[in-house]
Amino acid sequence: MSKIAVVALGGNALLRGNEIGTIQQQEKNTYDTCINLLNLIKQGFELVITHGNGPQVGNIMLRNEAGYNTYKIPKMPLDICVADSQGGIGYMIEKQMRNILAKNKIKKNIVTIVTQVLVDKNDPAFNDPNKPVGPFYLKEEADLLAKSNNFVFKEDARKRGWRRVVPSPEPLDILNKKIIKQLVQKGNIIIACGGGGIPVYYDEEKNLIGTEAVIDKDLASSLLAKEIKADQFIILTDVPKVYLNFNKPNQTQLDVITLSEAKKYYEAGEFGAGSMGPKILAAIRFVSNGGKETIITESTQLSNPNCGTKIISD
């Protein structure tokens, strides 16, 4: 049996913080990230690639507004915007991976799966929107948009402006998990769960309904890794290792930590809720549910089998 790795690409995999997001910038960043995945293929892993979509879905939402205000093009709901971003980002990753494999004379099929993720329509998160999406606005702009669209806005903690916030419910099931598992076991590279997946729920008549929410990418990726019984769950971010007391004089890097240690640090609030916290929680969930290990690192470190911070069972 082949080894399977689920690799969650962070937002910086496609767009750096100081960039405006041209296609040239995104394709270069995608190539620079994906070329490092060759190291995993050479180590014998079959790959499932997941990814974020924060900047991209924000731009899609802006196009929504501009199209409606200028040409009265009907606005699309957030679940459709997430689906749009899955297609666009999946295409970029797939194209660059094909280029990389061809240059290295590796023959593999690559397929992007537009992935729906089940949530509970009664999840408490729907009553507490807190996931920022889209650009920053002045308070006056945010107030107008809130009034005209029934949006909820909150001020950024770093005082950079006001952003729309939406619910972020728990992922309960990956609806495409069986075909993803079948395809990756046959040696195909799969791109799935983009942006955390398209959030859907079942109504009283058992029909699938899309909802105005976004799902945390790392938590959805962790669930997918568990469901397909992946051997490794790898979270790529912009730092080579996880740190305690990050960016403080006494910061300490973590090399290998046990599940109980990870839980202790997480519960003590060692990791930021909007940064490393969800990644550690995703790692905890994967290992708690039978996964061998989670690795959190930066993509250029993948050539080293001992890279990153490893979370392992006790």
Give Dmax over CA atoms of the chain in angstroms.
59
Task: Round the average pLDDT of the chain to a whole number and report it.
Answer: 95
Residue ranges of the chain whose pLDDT lies below 70:
1
Write out pLDDT tens, residues 12-54. 788 887 888 899 999 999 999 999 999 999 999 999 999 999 8
Please report the pLDDT score of residue 149 as a whole number: 86
Which pLDDT score is estimated for 157?
A: 80
Position 77 scores a pLDDT of: 95
Q: What pTM, to 2 d.p., does this model score?
A: 0.95
List the catalytic residues: 11-12, 131, 217, 279
Could you report the per-residue pLDDT of 191-221, keeping only the tens digit for each?
999 999 999 999 999 999 999 999 999 999 9
Q: What is the pLDDT of residue 154?
A: 95
- Provide the residue type at 180 as one letter: I
Three-state secondary structure of 234-296: EEEECCCCEEECCCCCCCEEECEEEHHHHHHHHHCCCCCCCCHHHHHHHHHHHHHCCCCEEEE
| Residue 211 phi, psi dihedral angles, 5° rounding | -140, 155
Q: Does domain 3-128+167-312 have CATH number 3.30.2270.10?
A: no
Domain boundaries, the chain: 3-128+167-312
Euclidean distance between CA atoms 275 and 293, whole angstroms: 20
